[in-house]
Amino acid sequence: MPLTTLGVGGREATERIDRQIKSGRIDFGGRMFAAMLFSSLALALLVLVVLFADVFGAGIGVFTTRAESFLSGGLRTKADSAGVFQAIRGTFWIAVFTVVLAFPIGVATAVYLEEYAHKGRLTRFLDLNIRNLAGVPSIVYGILGLTIFVKHLKSFTGGATPISAGITLAILVLPIVIITSAEALRAVPGTLREAGFGVGATRWEVCRTLVLPYALPGIITGTVLALARAIGEAAPILLIGAVTGLLPGQEGLLDPSQLTERFTALPVVIADWARTPRAGFDELAAAAIIVMLVLVMAMNTFAIILRSHFERKRN
């Protein structure tokens, strides 16, 4: 661009300043850093794409040849007639139990810790331990479930049933629900609480009408992430006694009588099929993975819809 106005010091000064402020525009260090960040992202995405492509390539054949019998069939020893219906059913009921138990207990715990408890040594200690619990390997929860719910509380849970598995996984994800809910509550502006107390609301009213509605989108997101983790766990429910190989029950998806029967679930079935050496089972495992991915994605979509609904309500 031509220089049209000369400043103090005349053309010479203007040219000097022009050179100075236009030099060093290319920030090499910064660009390299950005490139590094981008390649990390690309690598992560690449792994995901390869994984998806591999699974879809292996499993899609099952859907093109016998989608219906695969989705409605039960566990079989023959690859051409085995299906995932019993596994979907089991995973569904485990998810129901997990949500019904972990959501209210987790949110209530978080509300107590954040809104009611006096911040002191005890709450810091509890907080730290909840964080530690979130890092305990899932197999440990499996052993807990096996000992307590399958053996000791057999009269209540019926032994190796979806009830035992659901309760165990609810306990497994409870710390995650508590932590994410507590974080959502902490993100509620203090001025909102003050406004409520300032017009004479009680703590319970402030919680119920102001704080919880504000924190709800975050709480829901946390809960769904926790649920996605729960339904992907194979190790604890294997210990609890999820069935592989053959499972006789043929109840419908919503039939409650299955709650006291033996069960199976998607991640267990996937693990079992994937290590079955006979022909056809690798493809079945891949197809079952596709089913599970679709389920998890559906859940996440539902969570996003819920979240944006409550966010719109909030603003």
**Closest distance between another protein and the C-beta of residue 213, in Å?**
8
CA distance 221 to 206: 22
User: Could you tell me if residue 23 is left (phi over 0), alpha (psi between -120 and 50 degrees) or otherwise beta?
Assistant: beta
Other C-beta atoms closer than 10 Å to the C-beta of 301 total 11
Contact residues toward another protein (CB under 8 A) are 118-120, 189, 191-202, 205, 209-210, 213-214, 314-315
Which one, 120 or 256, has the nearer CB to another protein? 120
**Closest distance between another protein and the C-beta of residue 215, in Å?**
12
Residue among 157, 156, 173, 161 nearest 101 (CA): 173
**Closest distance between another protein and the C-beta of residue 108, in Å?**
21
Which one, 51 or 195, has the nearer CB to another protein? 195
Which one, 71 or 210, has the nearer CB to another protein? 210
Asked if 163 and 90 touch (Cβ cutoff 8 Å), the reply is: no
- How buried is 125 (Cβ within 10 angstroms: 0-12 exposed, 13-18 middle, 19+ buried)? exposed
Residue among 172, 277, 287, 285 nearest 229 (CA): 172
**Closest distance between another protein and the C-beta of residue 123, in Å?**
10
Which one, 104 or 198, has the nearer CB to another protein? 198
Which one, 31 or 314, has the nearer CB to another protein? 314
Q: Using alpha carbons only, how large is the chain's radius of gyration in Å?
A: 27
Tell me which amino acid residue 194 is.
Answer: E
Which one, 97 or 214, has the nearer CB to another protein? 214
**Closest distance between another protein and the C-beta of residue 160, in Å?**
47
Residues ≥6 apart with Cβ < 8 Å to 148 = none
**Closest distance between another protein and the C-beta of residue 311, in Å?**
10
**Closest distance between another protein and the C-beta of residue 186, in Å?**
15
Asked if 286 and 55 touch (Cβ cutoff 8 Å), the reply is: yes
**Closest distance between another protein and the C-beta of residue 83, in Å?**
48
Other C-beta atoms closer than 10 Å to the C-beta of 185 total 21
Which one, 144 or 210, has the nearer CB to another protein? 210
Does the CA dihedral 123-127-132-138 come out positive or negative?
positive
Residues 262, 297, 273, 139, Cα dihedral to 10°: -60
Which one, 126 or 271, has the nearer CB to another protein? 126
